Amino acid sequence: MSRPVELADVRRRVTEFGERASLITVNADNRPHVVSAVIAFNGDRLHARVGSRSRTNAAAHPQVTLTWQPPSGGEYMLILDGFVEAIGDPGTDGVAEMTVRVESGILHRMAELPTAGPSCVAL
């Protein structure tokens, strides 16, 4: 469903939607694990700090998805698919640094809105 993106579009949309996203990883049984994460740019990659379960999942299954709910009054959510390129060792707090290369993304229209519009908008 997601489409390849340009880094400038990713930067613009992440700035528009804000730093807090949902990070989705999968475990060994392919069950999803969803957490809140603060997302920042580190060069041309996304950066997040993650807990032990997300770290373990991403190490075994490096394809992840990040989603952002629409800004107040917005009609579209932001969905980015990426590949975890690096995961640091956990600190004393159990949190590790993770770097994600964005591979694709899309704006997906929220369900049941009263006005017509395209269901998806390419970045």
pLDDT value of position 116: 79
pLDDT value of position 87: 97
What domains lie within the chain, and their CATH numbers? 7-111 (2.30.110.10)
pLDDT value of position 3: 63
Q: How far apart are CA 80 and CA 64, in angstroms?
A: 9
How confident is the model over 24-77, as pLDDT tens digits? Answer: 999 999 999 999 999 999 999 999 999 999 999 999 999 999 999 998 888 999
100: buried, middle or exposed (CB in 10 Å: 19+, 13-18, 0-12)?
buried
The CA-based angle 72-48-28, given to 5 degrees, is: 105
pLDDT value of position 123: 83
